[in-house]
Amino acid sequence: MSVQAQPLRAYAVIATQPLRLRRVRQLAAKSLFGLAALVSLVTLLPLGFILWITLQTGWETASALIFRPRVGELLVNTALLEVLTLPPCIVLAVALAWLTERSDVPGARLWSWLAVAPLAIPAFVQSYAWVGVAPGMHGLFAAVFVSVLAYLPFLYLPVAAQLRHLDPAMEDAAASLGLAPWRVFLRVVLPQLRIALCGGSLLIGLHLLAEYGLYAMIRFDTFTTAIVDQFQSSYNGPAANMLAGVLVLSCLGLLGLELLIRGDARYARVGSGAPRPASRRSLGRARGIAVLLPLTLSGLALGVPAYALGRWLIAGGSEIWQARELAAAFGETLFYAVGGALATTLAAIPMAWLSVRAPGRLQRVLEGCHYYVGALPGVVVALALVTITVRVALPLYQTVATVLLAYGLMFLPRALVGLRAGIAQVPVELERAAIALGRRPVGAILSVTMRLAAPGVAACMALVAMGVTTELTATLMLAPNGTRTLATEFWALTNELDYAAAAPYAALMIALSLPLTALLHAQSRRVAGQ
C-alpha cells in the first residue's frame, strides 16, 4: 500500500465511526427498551390480577362483596382518616419549614434535623410506643394523632426544600406594594409551595391507605387491616380480593385528585441572573415562643418513643436480649434488605437510562408503569402474588424469590428516582467514548455510567433497603415459614402483648434506619447548596 493511501484509509475509518456508534447506540436502546418493557409487564401484575379476579368472580358475587355495609364502614374510616390527618400535617409542615428555613429561631439546623429524624422510626413502632405510654389510645383520633407524628416528615422535607429554592425578589416586590408580612406569605410564598404540598400530601395519603401495623395496634379498621385479617383468618379469596380492588380504586382516586389540585401552573423564575438566598426574618421577642413548636413536635415524635423503648428495655432487663434470636432476625433482615435493594436497583436501571438518554412518548408510558406500582399498598401486591403463585406457580409460593419480587414492585419508584438523578449527572460523551473504544453498550453503561453515578446508586439502594427493613405486610403474607426478620419478630411479640421482649427488635430497626435518615437530610440540604 502506498504512503498516500494510508491517510485516506485512516480517514475512511474515522468517518465511519459516527455511523457505527449510532448503530451501536440504537442497538443498546432497543435492548434496554426490551428489558424495561419486561419490567413494566411485571409491574402490571397487581392491577391485572385485580381485573382478572373481578371478572372471574362474576358481577353478581363481586357486587355483593363490594356493596355491603362493611365496605361502607371502611370507606368512611378511610375518608375520615385522610381528611383529619392531611390538614394538620400541611399546617405543621409549613410552619415548621418556615421557622427552620426563613426565621432566626434558635437552633434552626438542629430543629431541621429533628424534624426529619422520625423517618427512622417505623409507623408501627410509633403506635407501639404510644400504646405503651397511654394504653387507652384507640380509635380514629388516636390513629390521626400517631399518623401526623409518623408521616409529618414526608411533607416537611419537600416544603423545606422548596422554601430554600424560592427567589425572595417576588416577596420584596409584594412588600414594597404595602402588603403586610402575613399577606405576602399567603399571596406570594404559599402558592409557590403548591407542588411541594401536593406531592408530600399525596405521599402521606398513600401511606395512610397502605399502613397496617399502626392501625392494627391502635385498633382502627382500614381496608388494609381488613384485607390482612380476612387473609389470615379464613383465606377468603373473593372477599379479600374485592376489598383490594376497592383499595386500588381509592389509590387511583387519590392520584387523580392530586393531579387536579396541583394543576399546570408554572413557578419557575425566568428573569436574568441568579436568585439570591432569602434572608432570615427576625422573630424578636417571639423567638422563645417559636421554639415551642419544634420542641413539642420533637418531644412527641422522638421523645415518647425513646422513653417507651427505654422503659421497656429497662423493665425487661438482660433477659430480653436473646443474642441468638436477635442475631438471626438481624441477619435475615440484612439479607432481605441487601437482596431487595440490589434486585430493585438492577430492575430500574434500563428504565432510568432510557428516561435520561432516550426520552420519548412510549418511554413515558413504560415509566408510568414503573411509578404507578409504588402507589399500591403492599397488601395488594402481596395478595396478588399469593394468588398468582398458588394458582399458576405453586413452587414459588412462600419462597425468597417471591418476597424479593414483592419488594422490587413496591420500592421500584424509589430506585428509579435516585438512578435517574445519578445518570443525568454523567456526561453522555464518556459513555460514547467507551463504546468507540470497543466496549459493548451494556458494559459501557455498567462500567462507566453506573460507576460515575455510584453516589446516586448507593442512595437509592439505601432508600430501598430502609423500606425493606421496616416492611411488614408483604413479609407477613409472603415470607417462607420460619422467616424471622426484625419487623415480623417485633410484630409477633407485640401481638402476644410482650412489649418488653419486642423492644430490642424495635431498637435495632431504628438503629438501621438512622444512618439513612441522616443521609437523606444531608442530601436535601446539599441540593440546595447549603
The closest alpha carbon to 62, from 289, 251, 244, belongs to 244
pLDDT in tens, 382-425: 888 988 888 888 888 889 999 999 999 988 887 887 777 677 76
Least confident of 28-37, 247-256, 428-437, 471-480: 428-437
| 309 phi, psi to nearest 5 deg | -65, -45
Using 50, 70 and 90 to split pLDDT, how confident is the model at 12? Answer: very low
Round to the nearest angstrom and report the end-to-end CA distance of the chain: 63
The closest alpha carbon to 351, from 419, 290, 305, belongs to 419
Distance CA 494, CA 94 (A): 35
The closest alpha carbon to 468, from 309, 370, 345, 367, belongs to 345
The most distant pair of C-alpha atoms in the chain lies apart, rounded to whole Å, by 96
Q: What does the block give as the cell for 71?
A: 365496605
The closest alpha carbon to 211, from 473, 492, 486, 487, belongs to 473
Average pLDDT, whole number, for the chain? 80
Nearby residues of 209 by Cβ (< 8 Å), 6 or more positions away = 78, 222, 223, 224, 247, 250, 251, 254, 377
Using 50, 70 and 90 to split pLDDT, how confident is the model at 198? Answer: confident
Taking a C-beta distance cutoff of 8 angstroms, is the pair 212, 491 a contact? no
CA distances from 136 to 130, 132, 142, 301 (A): 9, 9, 9, 18
Least confident of 138-142, 173-177, 225-229, 409-413: 173-177
What average pLDDT does range 174-201 have in this prediction? Answer: 72
| 213 phi, psi to nearest 5 deg | -60, -45
Q: Is 219 left (phi over 0), alpha (psi -120 to 50) or beta?
A: left
pLDDT in tens, 226-250: 888 877 766 556 777 788 778 878 8
Taking residue 338's Cβ as centre, other Cβ atoms within 10 Å add up to 14
**Placement of cell 393531579 in the chain:** 259
CA distances from 282 to 22, 99, 213, 288, 385 (A): 58, 10, 43, 12, 56
- How far is residue 131 CA from its own chain's centroid? 26
Higher pLDDT, 442 or 485: 485
Q: pTM for this one? A: 0.79
| 156 phi, psi to nearest 5 deg | -60, -45
Q: Give me the DSSP letters along 171-185.
A: HHHHHHTT--HHHHI
The closest alpha carbon to 10, from 75, 1, 490, belongs to 1
Taking a C-beta distance cutoff of 8 angstroms, is the pair 459, 523 a contact? yes
Using 50, 70 and 90 to split pLDDT, how confident is the model at 91? Answer: very high
Distance CA 281, CA 276 (A): 15
Angle, alpha carbons 349-352-357 (nearest 5°): 120
Using 50, 70 and 90 to split pLDDT, how confident is the model at 24? Answer: low
Taking residue 362's Cβ as centre, other Cβ atoms within 10 Å add up to 13
The closest alpha carbon to 465, from 391, 398, 410, belongs to 410
Residue type for position 429: E
Distance CA 211, CA 223 (A): 9
Taking residue 94's Cβ as centre, other Cβ atoms within 10 Å add up to 21
Rounded-to-10 torsion of CA 441, 446, 447, 453 = 120
Q: Give me the DSSP letters along 271-304.
A: SSS-PPPPPPBP-GGGHHHHTHHHHHHHIIIIIH
**Placement of cell 440490589 in the chain:** 342
- How far is residue 422 CA from its own chain's centroid? 18
Distance CA 475, CA 494 (A): 16
Residue-level pLDDT at 38: 92
Higher pLDDT, 172 or 255: 255
Nearby residues of 393 by Cβ (< 8 Å), 6 or more positions away = none
- How far is residue 375 CA from its own chain's centroid? 9
